[in-house]
Structure 1
């Protein structure tokens, strides 16, 4: 009634009163002096952190723990880029300190070649974001910009390398480090400071949709690949403008979900967790990794996003981790909505931060929820400061307070350089695994007059690239068809027929494919799978694709596309059977993200080549292998099963009574470490010398390998170990060392490996790391089931190892 009586004057007076009250509750923050300690680059980082923390409000601190989705934070009008209103609002209201996937382009983000940015524009866009954050905030704290970088920076115009399962197939750590260095330089030149990757999930479930993102089924191989990626990403100086912080994914035990469900339940015991799933992360942390991402799953009922044992006891105390932790997208909210261990999102935010999770990937997991948790005394200021300090430390140590900007012209020169394109081809060629070569049908003669190139993956750009790939410009990607055409030029008549799709059964031209095969001297049949996303696919809030009934896209792999079967989908088997029936020599090329059922091919096709997702130069690399310009030496990082009924099937299973099934034998179709060559290798003269001291042991191993064939080639030498008798059940064999070597015909080389107590240790019944006395068996060979040399050695007394 008073408002009605006084009219607009009364409203104005009430409004003024509310504004004055708000100002009393939130006093203006003091201006920051130009000589503030945290602005002085010559001061010790820890002192800079403490100086800045004492100047920050609670809201500013919480903002530093938010990583918002970045692709809507810039604007693009013609050739001009700038900051969006959404970004200005995020800075003003949430005081955010980080962005993710700002430059990401794919059907989920709705960024295309037209609406996204090319490398120079990308650098201009990130500069604009940094400039606004620095110049329009009280403290001038620069942003940390994270980008997806598993097999190349997931942005327009960048170099696309083979996916991780292909990288692991190279068994070449030096090459993978070189690749990671190139990826980091491309990302950093465009303004990124963090690269998400590598994925260090131990993968024992090929039905799981993300097998392609992993390095396979063996902890040691994964760990070596992870170390190589971390060293390549981070280099030795993060201030050099060429390297990025590496974020390890997904911590932990994410890659073997029950039923193959992405993000599903992880059934893993405490000993298995320590001996199989955590070691790859430990190796990468020891190599200096500065960021770790918590996975979606739970372990023994504790979600990884709020698992203090993993995030504090293991990472900080045992491994002395020096970086920061981050949630997976929406992982903190999942404590409430998925795992149901938090009453509400405020409770979830408190649980996550208190457990040691520093940063929220989403921008909504902490934010207001964390502010409320602090107000309710669910989180202490000391805990908040620790998390914020971990983020600020990265910004100081990268030199961002002094130089948050990049030079756009540099991005134009660095991204997709000629050297990086050549490197992409080298990695692709090194990753190719020759599975079968009956009667030496390969390599094919370059003098063939008529060749039929057939199959849904023979000339499909996006099916060749894998998940986490940006849109590609026309002509940038070399498909198998283009690779063969370039290889042979006009000397041969090359007939191409698609034949069928990966999944769609309504549209096919198998008859035309058969006719082309009948008229050819040889057939290259390119089948497999696809992780290619399209604009018709629906996506979850996490970015994972949703399976839709009735969909006819090729996508049968990639995040969210789990399978109940490993069979080739659609009409691919029918196409293969019809082509084989022509009686012509058939070479099957598999382009895929997971091991698929190729039992028929193993029995009926003359040659099988597995290329996984080989990246932008994959077609050229495959052509080199098919026609003998490159001798394949890739080796399987994961076993290929004969049936899903065998799953899980992996080489390093624990000693147990494994036996054949009624329908088939228990062993896989192709075992871990397997791969053929166009030449042969002979192993000889295995020798071991054991030196044992009170708290250590050294096993020096030597042997020689000879190229006994007629052509030069690479061999991947593999050393396995078995603990013959132990107090707890141990694996039947474990990879402990490997090396990829090049040998000319007739050339011999001596290999020397050193094993220490770290390689011989186990977790005993008291959950203590020890080397137990007794006999061990060394196995040296060309794969896990192709052992050429064996020898036993003895450790005389127990060795206790510090965790």
Structure 2
């Protein structure tokens, strides 16, 4: 067996480790789920529930306390008092006195009762605003610190490959650069507040077979290197993330939880990650029970430790007694345990836990302050994507006598929330518990925005199911109104409790249930109809964009959170302007999946197949209430393969209203040694302009943005022609330029930057 290299740590950590017995070491490598009960909030949680009593499990200390606030609706102040006392017990009544790391979910805000709930990550991507996402992360982290939480299980950096996958609403987009920049911004915000972010799910989880959860992944090394890994690399190199969580995936027959190549060679040796790798819930045991690469839990623990997993979450199914037995029999080298323990102790030292005294728990906590709500509102507004508009929007309140508010999501607060929101993740098990925060529905927000014009909400039909008995009432309400607003889409949930979310994968991308029929029958009244889609995935709604029964306008809202309804009302009235862009292609059909705009020539339409995968609307699409003109794209005519490239474009507001343009710079490598995408987003920028104003946006493109993995497996930039363009989407070539790269093949190294620097010139008025 090769010598296992131990990580460099402080003298304090080394001395603490030297005192530890084997039982004390193993205790630091596991979590304990104090509140775990019958609620299904993790895959196979009921089957994997530990029978070990907490007092026994923590007799020698404990590494993590699992979801102290996020498993059941507990009062934050009362729970904090319990946590402080428990941490004091660990400090005072265990031999070494090491407190526990407390981890929580924080994908759409802290997953705790009464905590602010922000838009889902797919909405972050639609905003194209990393700075605002960073601000949100800082607020979330501040709430967590108040409650004695140390580690957040977010962000999700899986690149969307198939919208049939139920966990799409947890993802940021289908473009690795957008995922990387937005996700890294969240990491910075959370860690600036003193919380360790945890990247999920490293790696390949979203590329599962047929869009199914926990399914095999058939990704080649180039897809891994050029599409799936870059967001994680960015968050490690640029964001300094402190924790990573493995994915449940098995890639070409090798479970990630047992992959030393990914968890050690790539993550640590190639990228320089020096934090802690935690297992996704039960994934160590899954090496035995689901992947069948380990004959028992002891062998599963050995495989995971050797691969590079340091901590088993949420409990110690494999890293406790089964691992201890394997160690005592000599089947596992104790140096593997020492390596993991040193990393965990170093993390606790970094978090200040080794010096924390836990004197006074907070006496009062506000987890949903006006500042939280202001950021939630801004992000919700920026994330709304106007897919189509025949001129009905914005609505003129003065000319509207009556609004019909229709649809299964019109008067549902839960419809605004993603799968990992506390409302849908936990409170679904506790229907008698109040939501704990102000959460107006779209109907309530529209009634406030257009006072006196909105009647009672009419459901028409449910989100799913085949009960059509309410459609006639909805049609009648629409016919008696000046404008009809129909709110359709998803209901997020877990493992079959919804239409989207973890475990809610689909083989059909039509709107669930009878919702399409509802919309079409309302449109048939001839009353101007606005369709609002509250969803966690993009649906095949091309019929609503340009079909014979298309509504007058379609607004896409990816689970916009607690302020989402207010944001929708503001955009409909014109008080706010839409500026979101599609972070994922709007699919043509389920049969056209998997699809990505990053496809090579053979991945698009052609004359030699009758099947057309062209999406209903392309990546980057989104309308505004004004118009923007892009012109005079300028890039060097010739440049060295190892040199950075300055690219400029002129942007002008040619409409009559103020607005925000998302300037999108795309590139295409015309000929290369391996096939390349027909379009690739290089950089982007949000630019606010008044009517008639003009500015110049400069993108300083590092050569790393044009790199790819060649046939040898090296990341390179080759000589040849690169076409650049800017437009309203990946398919809109409004202004373009070509640069010839000259010189030898340039191999990308750690010193090569891969993030575009953007600057906006002074605005020139009309």
TM-score, structure 1 as length reference: 0.86
Q: Which residue of 2 aligns with 1:465?
A: 417
Comparing 568-577 and 180-189, the one that deviates more? 568-577
Aligned equivalents of 1:96, 1:474: Cα separation in 2: 31
Give 1:426's match in structure 2, choosing from 346, 367, 378.
Answer: 378
Q: Which residue of 2 aligns with 1:586?
A: 529
Q: Which residue of 1 aligns with 2:602?
A: 656
8 Å contact from structure 2 (residues 638, 742) kept in 1: no
Q: How does 1:547-562 map to 2 (within 5 A)?
A: 547=496, 555-562=498-505
1:618-652 Cα deviation digits (max 9, x unpaired): 11000001110111010011011111111122111
SS of aligned partner of 2:601: coil
**Is residue 688 of structure 1 aligned with residue 639 of structure 2?**
no
Q: Structure 1 residues 193 and 531, CA, compared in 2 at 3 Å: closer, same or farther? A: same
Give 1:315's match in structure 2, choosing from 267, 276, 289.
Answer: 267
Q: Which residue of 2 aligns with 1:40?
A: none
Aligned equivalents of 2:555, 2:668: Cα separation in 1: 31
1:89 Cα deviation after fit: 3.0
Aligned equivalents of 2:517, 2:589: Cα separation in 1: 19
Q: Which residue of 2 aligns with 1:396?
A: 349
1:322 Cα deviation after fit: 1.4
Q: Which residue of 1 aligns with 2:235?
A: 284
1:431-450 Cα deviation digits (max 9, x unpaired): 10000001x11001112111
8 Å contact from structure 2 (residues 147, 362) kept in 1: no
Q: Structure 1 residues 404 and 266, CA, compared in 2 at 3 Å: closer, same or farther? A: farther
8 Å contact from structure 1 (residues 45, 397) kept in 2: no
Give 2:175's match in structure 1, choosing from 218, 227, 233.
Answer: 218
Q: Which residue of 2 aligns with 1:701?
A: 647
Q: Which residue of 2 aligns with 1:356?
A: 308
Q: Which residue of 2 aligns with 1:674?
A: 621
8 Å contact from structure 2 (residues 122, 173) kept in 1: yes
Q: How does 1:299-310 map to 2 (within 5 A)?
A: 299-310=251-262
Aligned equivalents of 2:364, 2:202: Cα separation in 1: 32
**Is residue 378 of structure 1 aligned with residue 318 of structure 2?**
no
Give 2:93's match in structure 1, choosing from 136, 145, 148.
Answer: 136
Q: Which residue of 1 aligns with 2:482?
A: 521
1:678-737 Cα deviation digits (max 9, x unpaired): 0000112211237856x8311111111011111111100011111111111111111110
Aligned equivalents of 1:756, 1:469: Cα separation in 2: 37
Q: Structure 1 residues 498 and 725, CA, compared in 2 at 3 Å: closer, same or farther? A: same
8 Å contact from structure 2 (residues 446, 454) kept in 1: no
SS of aligned partner of 2:337: helix
Give 1:165's match in structure 2, choosing from 91, 115, 122.
Answer: 122
SS of aligned partner of 1:589: strand
Give 1:368's match in structure 2, choosing from 321, 325, 328.
Answer: 321
User: Unaligned regions of 5+ residues in structure 1, if any?
Assistant: 1-43, 74-83, 106-110, 236-241, 533-544, 548-552
Aligned equivalents of 1:279, 1:657: Cα separation in 2: 21
Q: Which has the larger radius of gyration?
A: 1
Give 1:247's match in structure 2, choosing from 190, 198, 202.
Answer: 198
Aligned equivalents of 1:568, 1:421: Cα separation in 2: 30
Q: Which residue of 1 aligns with 2:214?
A: 263
Q: Which residue of 2 aligns with 1:95?
A: 61
8 Å contact from structure 2 (residues 9, 342) kept in 1: no
SS of aligned partner of 1:332: helix
Q: Structure 1 residues 657 and 294, CA, compared in 2 at 3 Å: closer, same or farther? A: closer
Q: Structure 1 residues 189 and 508, CA, compared in 2 at 3 Å: closer, same or farther? A: farther
Please, what is the CA RMSD of the aligned residues?
A: 1.9
**Is residue 478 of structure 1 aligned with residue 449 of structure 2?**
no
Aligned equivalents of 2:611, 2:714: Cα separation in 1: 40
Q: Which residue of 1 aligns with 2:720?
A: 774
Q: Which residue of 1 aligns with 2:449?
A: 487
Q: How does 1:436-447 map to 2 (within 5 A)?
A: 436-438=388-390, 440-447=391-398
1:377 Cα deviation after fit: 2.0
**How many residues are aligned here?**
712
TM-score, structure 2 as length reference: 0.90
User: Unaligned regions of 5+ residues in structure 2, if any?
Assistant: 1-7, 38-50, 428-433, 751-766
Aligned equivalents of 2:664, 2:78: Cα separation in 1: 46
Q: Structure 1 residues 767 and 467, CA, compared in 2 at 3 Å: closer, same or farther? A: same
Q: Which residue of 1 aligns with 2:43?
A: none
Give 1:620's match in structure 2, choosing from 559, 562, 566.
Answer: 566
Q: Which residue of 2 aligns with 1:108?
A: none
Give 1:347's match in structure 2, choosing from 291, 296, 299.
Answer: 299
Q: Which residue of 2 aligns with 1:333?
A: 285
Aligned equivalents of 1:445, 1:759: Cα separation in 2: 45
1:588 Cα deviation after fit: 0.1
Give 1:197's match in structure 2, choosing from 138, 154, 160.
Answer: 154
8 Å contact from structure 1 (residues 210, 559) kept in 2: yes
1:412 Cα deviation after fit: 1.1
8 Å contact from structure 2 (residues 32, 54) kept in 1: no
